[in-house]
Amino acid sequence: MLPAQLGARNGQVRCGKCSSVFDGIAALVEASEAARPKEPVPSAAPAPPALEEPLPEFLAEPPPPRRGPWPLLAALAALVLLAQALLHFRSEIAASMPIARGPLEEACRLLGCELRLPRQVKLLSIDSYEVRPDPQREGVIVLNAVIRNRAPFAQAYPALQLTLTDDANRELVSRAILPREYLDPKVVARGIEAGGEAALTVHFDASRTRATGYELVLFYPS
């Protein structure tokens, strides 16, 4: 049916077969919707998992550093230095820490070293000394001196280097005097106590010189 005919009768038309009247416009709309193809309903299929992409280099965490042998070598070097220090200062440690004397003596027995009294000559000083002729023996001079131990531990008695000079301060004769030459061996074995002092007297033959000056130096024989 043409649109002009539907418009003239307000959409009312009569069926040619059954002579019934119906709304022709509504019939056309229903027929049009029935003829339109239906769109498929999208299925609710799960989305594929997102692929993991590598991070850029500046965002990626650096790999942990490889631990080489250096930490172990450094620890061994530290132990060697500690052992050397203990061996070098063994006398000072034993004198200031009596509890350490036993282990140090055992270590020296194994290593073939000697555990003796400390010998820090820089911690010794000559408080006073004088050299004068011996009134009883011609050509013999007498040395009187006081040695002080300023260390906080006992020290071995030092050797003495006595030098005689002339008027021009030129050396005429020099002699090294060991502790056993001016002290009793038992006294030498005890050493000079911490903060203590020792008075000594030494006789020196100067009959072949005409000395006018003298010099006294403390030292430990190597």
Q: State whether 99 and 125 are in the same domain.
A: no
Q: State whether 125 and 179 are in the same domain.
A: yes
| pLDDT tens, position by position, 139-168 | 888 989 999 999 988 899 999 999 988 888
Question: Containing H/E element for 13?
Answer: strand 12-14
Instruction: Tell me whether residue 196 is in a domain.
Output: yes
Q: Is the CA virtual torsion 102, 105, 111, 115 positive or negative? A: positive
Q: State whether 90 and 133 are in the same domain.
A: no
Mean pLDDT of the chain: 78
Which of these three, 72, 101, 116, is where a domain ends? Answer: 116
Domain limits for position 162: 121-219
Q: State whether 92 and 125 are in the same domain.
A: no
| pLDDT tens, position by position, 38-49 | 555 555 555 555
Task: State how many domains the chain has.
Answer: 3
Q: What pLDDT does 45 receive?
A: 55
Instruction: Tell me whether residue 197 is in a domain.
Output: yes
Q: State whether 111 and 134 are in the same domain.
A: no
Q: What distance separates the 2 farthest-apart alpha carbons in the chain?
A: 180
Question: For residue 136, what is the DSSP state?
Answer: T
Q: State whether 161 and 204 are in the same domain.
A: yes
Please give the structure tokens belonging to residue 217.
Answer: 């130096």
Q: State whether 130 and 212 are in the same domain.
A: yes
Q: State whether 129 and 212 are in the same domain.
A: yes
Q: State whether 101 and 154 are in the same domain.
A: no
Q: State whether 183 and 148 are in the same domain.
A: yes
| pLDDT tens, position by position, 178-198 | 998 888 888 898 899 999 999
Instruction: Tell me whether residue 62 is in a domain.
Output: no
